Amino acid sequence: MKAGIKIALLFSLTSSLLLASEQFAMSDADRAMYAEMLENNPAEMDLEAGSEYFDEYCNGEAGLANFLGVKEEKLPEYISGFPRYVEKLKMVAGLDQVMQALMSENGHKPFKLKSGDMFGMLGYVKSLANDLPISINVDANKHMKEAYVLGKEVFETKRGGRGLSCLSCHNDAVKGAILRTQPLPDLGENVAGGTWPAYRMTKSSLRTLQRRFQGCMNNALLAVIPIGSKEMNALEVYVTNMSKGKEIAIPGLKR
């Protein structure tokens, strides 16, 4: 493309991005209204159902603490460090996968990872760590170290129809820029690792972080990675670590 046309194209694009950001910048008053909605989050009903499943199929906190080999009073803190390398599963895993194993152990057919029932149960269990800081430790052992490296690779690898990676839209240079009417979020500042599972308003349902990753991949024309797979867990480790130290607040409320 001729240099003149390239410059003209760049100018029109950046100016349209700027105009967009002025036009659609959310006012403080509007922002406050959305923050207020957290007080009554429909996901609370999913979590209530999840707590009932948790008690029935996993024997509640006692059952989970026992499975993980931690004292019950230390369970919330332990939960705040997930995803972790779980010895019993011989892999870096999420709490949903831990609960699948626990459900099996207790003689129940485990919920599918990508099911509303599991999302609710995961939301409930993760909410036990509310107000605690995200304490994931990517240096805990060689498995976590490997997961972090793999997660970073998944985050940064360009693939798919548009040659995009997660990093293409989630990086310091473009954070806050408006794409398709929404500001691009910084996943660390957004506390992605501590505000999912969340109620998604555009889906009117509770969703998990990995499920959200899938939605994003789908829209960016990247092949979707299965929930609970090695790569997806690694990606969750990498993204969760971005908000290490920030407070957990589940269920979240998202667009």
Partner 1 sequence: MGKVKSLIKIKPKKFKNGEIVKVSFMVMHPMETGMRKDKKTKKIVPADYVKSLKFDYNGKTITTMNVWESVSTNPVFTTYMKVDGKGKLTVTFTDSKGNVNEKSKKIKPKG
Partner 2 sequence: MQRREFFKKLGVVAAASSIVVPTMGFAEDKPKSPNEMSYKTALDAITDGKTPIKSDKLKLKAPEIAENGAVVPVTITVDSPMTDSDYVKSIHILSTKNANSRCADIHLTPANGKAMLATRIKLGGTQDVVAVAKLSNGEIYIASQSVKVTIGGCG
Q: Can you tell me which of 18, 37, 62, 89 binds partner 2, judged by CB under 8 A? A: 37
3-state secondary structure the chain: CCHHHHHHHHHHHHHHHHHHHHHHCCCHHHHHHHHHHHHHCCHHHHHHHHHHHHHHHHCHHHHHHHHHCCCHHHHHHHHCCCCEEEHHHCEEECHHHHHHHHHHHCCCCCCCCCCHHHHHHHHHHHHCCCCCECCCCCCCCHHHHHHHHHHHHHHHCCECCCCECHHHHCCCCCCCCEECCEECCCCCCCCHHHCCCEEECCCCEEECHHHHHHHHHHHCCCCCCCCCCHHHHHHHHHHHHCCCCCECCCCEEEC
Our finding on whether 18 is near partner 2 (CB under 8 A) is: no
Q: Can you tell me which of 164, 175, 244, 246 binds partner 2, judged by CB under 8 A? A: 164
Residue span binding partner 2 (CB under 8 A) among the ranges 30-38, 59-67, 118-126, 137-145: 30-38
Nearer residue to partner 2 within complex by CB, 29 or 139: 29
Minimum CB distance to partner 2, residue 7 (Å): 9
Minimum CB distance to partner 2, residue 123 (Å): 18
| Residue 49 contact among partner 2, partner 1, none, beta carbon within 5 to 8 Å by kind | partner 1
Tell which positions 29-48 bind partner 1, by CB under 8 A.
Answer: 39-40, 42, 44-46, 48
Our finding on whether 204 is near partner 2 (CB under 8 A) is: yes
Nearer residue to partner 2 within complex by CB, 109 or 202: 202
CA angle at 151 for the pair 148 and 152, rounded to the nearest 5°: 85
Q: Can you tell me which of 4, 172, 180, 223 binds partner 2, judged by CB under 8 A? A: 180
Q: Tokens standing for 109?
A: 């057919």
Nearer residue to partner 1 within complex by CB, 26 or 45: 45
Cβ atoms of 113 and 228 closer than 8 Å = yes
Minimum CB distance to partner 1, residue 52 (Å): 10
In angstroms, what CA-CA distances link 185 with 23, 190, 191, 198? 18, 7, 10, 16
Binding mask 60-99 for partner 1 (x = CB under 8 A): ----------------------------------------
Which residues bind to partner 2, rule: CB under 8 A? 6, 9-10, 12-14, 16-17, 20, 23-24, 26-27, 29-30, 33-34, 36-37, 158, 162-164, 168-169, 173-174, 177, 179-182, 201-202, 204, 215-216, 218-220, 255
Which residues bind to partner 1, rule: CB under 8 A? 39-40, 42, 44-46, 48-49, 199, 204
